[in-house]
Amino acid sequence: MPRIPRMVINDETTVYHVMSRTALDGFPFGDVEKDELVKIIKKFSKLFFVEVFGFSIMGNHFHLLIQMFPEHHYKDEEIRKRCKAHYGEDFVVSDEQIGDYRVKLSSLANYMKEIKQAFSWYYNQRHNRRGTLWGERFKSVIVENGETLINCLAYIDLNPLRAGLVKRPEDYRWNSIGYHVQTGNKDNFLSLDLGLNEFGFVDTKERLKRYRRYVYEAGALNHPGKGQVRAIDNDIVEY
């Protein structure tokens, strides 16, 4: 079987839409598993040179929209600080090791590997099983800033609506718009710096309001007819 192609740029700041699917049949990820996967993604996003724009955790796969920063983006002190926060205060990165950690923490492949391995261990422990959890290498597509980025983010956030799991995308707590609305973006996990000129001069609250409206407009275009939803000011109605 041919390996899944991936688009990766290693020497410059790049936005990726990343997706990975389980090898298991059906929809093995329930509420508890989805909560844990979000927790794991948050944990490794604090360690790696990454900015998270969005995510959606579904019953058998997950999406991420992230920006990876190149090796030279962070100073040695920041790398050591991140490693201590992740591995413990006693963890020391020597001068000889700093280059290796710089390469690792700027790598999309390593970021995804850590997330998927940590979740595999958790899932197998919880369900008393062994063996492969993920069906293939993750897929990645490079995304441009601006209109392309916000289109991709809306597509990701509308996953649970397309699957018929919720009537409003923010009612789903395992996607980015749900995380924004339901938790107030706890721990500042997600970024709304979407590269849009009209977002550049407004505060975070206004950015979320504008993005939320955009999601509903995208949902209306993709789902004409029954079940279509639209935003009126801060209220959402179904028609």
At residue 220, the pLDDT reads: 65
At residue 204, the pLDDT reads: 85
At residue 225, the pLDDT reads: 44
What is the rounded average pLDDT of the residues 72-87?
96
Q: How far apart are CA 185 and CA 192, in angstroms?
A: 10
At residue 9, the pLDDT reads: 54
The model's confidence at residue 195, banded by pLDDT at 50, 70 and 90, is confident
Q: How far apart are CA 38 and CA 23, in angstroms?
A: 19
Provide the residue ranges of all domains of the chain, joining segments of one domain with +: 14-70+106-225
Q: How far apart are CA 181 and CA 209, in angstroms?
A: 10
DSSP 3-state assignment of 68?
strand
Query: Residue 212: how many CB atoms within 10 A of its CB?
Result: 21
At residue 219, the pLDDT reads: 72
User: Are the C-beta atoms of residues 57 and 38 closer than 8 Å to each other?
Assistant: yes
The model's confidence at residue 10, banded by pLDDT at 50, 70 and 90, is low
pLDDT digits (tens, 9 = 90+) for 13-59: 999 999 999 999 999 999 999 999 999 999 999 999 999 999 999 99
At residue 193, the pLDDT reads: 87
Q: What pTM did the predictor assign?
A: 0.87
pLDDT digits (tens, 9 = 90+) for 152-191: 999 999 999 999 999 999 999 999 999 999 999 999 999 9
CATH of 14-70+106-225, one of 1.10.1750.10, 1.10.3470.10, 3.30.70.1290, 3.90.79.10: 3.30.70.1290
